[in-house]
Amino acid sequence: MFFGGPLDLVRYAIDIILVTFILYNILRIIRETRAWQLLKGVMLILVFILFCSFLGLEMVGYLFNKMLYIVAILFVVIFQPELRHALETVGLRSFSSFSNVVLNDDSDEQLRYVTMVDEIVKACTEMSKTYTGAIMLLERSTKLGELLKQENVVRLDSSVTNSMLQSIFYKGSPMHDGALLIRDGRIIAARCHVPLSETFHMIERYGTRHRAAVGASEIGDTVAVVVSEERGTISIAVDGVLYEMKDGLELRKNLSYLLGLTSGGARMPLLGKKHGKKNGKKNSVSAEQIEGEELVVASGKTENSGTDADEVPVVARKKKTQKKGKRSGRALLLLISFLFSLLLWMYIQITTNPVTERTFTLELQYENQNVLRDKNLAVKYPVQNVTVRLVGRKSVMDKLSSSDLSATLDLGSVNEAGSVRLPVNVKCDENVYFRVEMQRPEDVPVSVYTLVSEE
């Protein structure tokens, strides 16, 4: 199966590794979506078809070859949302990995973001007490400009204040439904409709507002703050993960961390409860208490944080316990991707570029005849042609012709008269790889005699 020279084997390995890498990342992206179950069914069908092809079941192979293009089109149509999400994720990781902090060294801009975080925390705390639903999207390195093109979106240009946020999300307000978009520390749009996340845990445990928050964090480098209308809890969605906050103080610490408001841009693990359930009692910190806290700018701590700041965050503890599970899950995905890539490569080689045989009849050529004459020797030529059967890839065999091949007999090693058997060497002028399966004859008996000099 791995037929070829050293360069061919290297090319095969690179081909399989690249396909494995692509499949692995696609599987990681759609692992928690509804398409995962459908994809597992498709993979089982493909494995079954490949197995049937190896067994030589011609009818199954014929039907599959006829339906291959239809299956490819259906795959694109069915997985269109997941493919779009994959491309968005690749672009997001490529262009935002070098810039994780949205702020520069401008102290005025730093102060504006600190004030914005303070106002958001106070507003969310008050809205959680009154069970007022809200969702706010804070752009970071990527922009969500497509949300501004929606028909019902309301364009704004306002500073972020507690009163402004509560008036927008007041239950009687026409802008209550939809998300609030914040760019560069200012409100630029309200009533934005965000694509909902389709991950399993979002569908099963949360409503539309939380799914929209996670969906927004998946399509861009965005921090989404959401207040539950049913439970009154405050959560943050970032990078497709939802974290439930214990109180407003924890919300402030996380927003400061995510917006780079810590010392030197130092990153602290996210506080909060990942994909958390209700904590048993509602957030109990009032806006007045939060307003009295020292803003997190340099140290990432507050005056009243005390041991809470030193305590290992819930997310950090969970990440340690989940690390082994994630590694085993990723290893399994990598193994599946490699096996599928290998089977796919073998199937393509068998169907499009199989190993074939060709037979050639070549004229035997004698090399170093001048050297033999210098030794005062000569030979008789009993054989004129050589028949060879070569084995190689179909793409190579189809291009070969008799003019590209040569069968030679080297006379340079003959030093005395007599009978000697010399091997026939078959070579190719092109830089291709093949194997000589049969050669007739493999060697030639040569009669060597001494030339008689004329005096």
Tell me, what's the pLDDT at 277? 39
Tell me, what's the pLDDT at 5? 65
Q: ω before 441 within 30° of 0 (cis)?
A: yes
> Beta partners for 410?
367
Cβ contact 185:260 at 8 Å: no
Q: Is 83 helix (H, G, I), strand (E, B) or coil?
A: helix
Average pLDDT in the 427-446 region?
82
Tell me the C-alpha distance between 366 and 362, whole Å: 13
pLDDT at 418 over 90: no
Helices 80-96 and 6-30: angle between axes, nearest 10 degrees: 100
Q: What φ, ψ does residue 176 adopt, rounded to 5°? A: -65, -45
Average pLDDT in the 301-306 region?
41
Tell me, what's the pLDDT at 16? 92
Q: Which tens digit of pLDDT belongs to each residue from 186-232?
A: 899 998 888 887 665 555 667 888 888 888 888 778 889 999 888 88
pLDDT at 345 over 70: yes
pLDDT at 17 over 90: yes
Tell me, what's the pLDDT at 106? 55
Candidate ranges 50-59, 158-167, 253-262; pick with highest mean pLDDT:
158-167
- Secondary-structure percent of the chain, ordered helix, strand, coil, rounded to 5: 45, 20, 30
Q: What is the pLDDT of the chain when averaged over all its residues?
A: 75
Handedness of CA 222, 227, 229, 233 (dihedral sign): positive
Handedness of CA 297, 299, 303, 307 (dihedral sign): positive
Q: Which tens digit of pLDDT belongs to each residue from 256-298?
A: 888 877 544 444 444 445 554 334 334 444 444 444 443 333 3
Strands ordered across the beta sheet of 154-159: 154-159, 186-192, 179-183, 134-139, 222-227, 234-238, 241-245, 273-274
Average pLDDT in the 153-158 region?
89
Tell me, what's the pLDDT at 122? 92
Compute CA distances 368 → 22, 377, 379, 386, 448, whole Å. 55, 12, 12, 19, 14
Tell me, what's the pLDDT at 87? 64
Tell me the C-alpha distance between 61 and 421, whole Å: 50
pLDDT at 20 over 90: yes
Helices 35-54 and 314-352: angle between axes, nearest 10 degrees: 30
Extract the tokens encoding 425: 């060497």
pLDDT at 453 over 80: no
Q: Which tens digit of pLDDT belongs to each residue from 35-57?
A: 666 777 777 877 787 788 778 78
Tell me, what's the pLDDT at 32? 58
Q: Higher-confidence residue: 91 or 392?
A: 392
Instruction: Set out the domains of the chain in order of their start, with CATH numbers.
Output: 6-98+325-352 (no CATH), 107-298 (3.40.1700.10), 355-450 (2.170.120.30)
Q: Which tens digit of pLDDT belongs to each residue from 77-124?
A: 776 766 666 666 665 555 444 444 444 445 667 788 888 999 999 999
Residues in the chain: 455
Residue 276 has what DSSP assignment?
A: -
pLDDT band for position 137 (cuts 50, 70, 90): very high
pLDDT at 382 over 80: no
pLDDT band for position 311 (cuts 50, 70, 90): very low
Residue 194 host element (H or E): none
Tell me, what's the pLDDT at 14? 92
Candidate ranges 7-16, 42-51, 130-139, 411-420; pick with highest mean pLDDT:
130-139
Tell me, what's the pLDDT at 317? 42
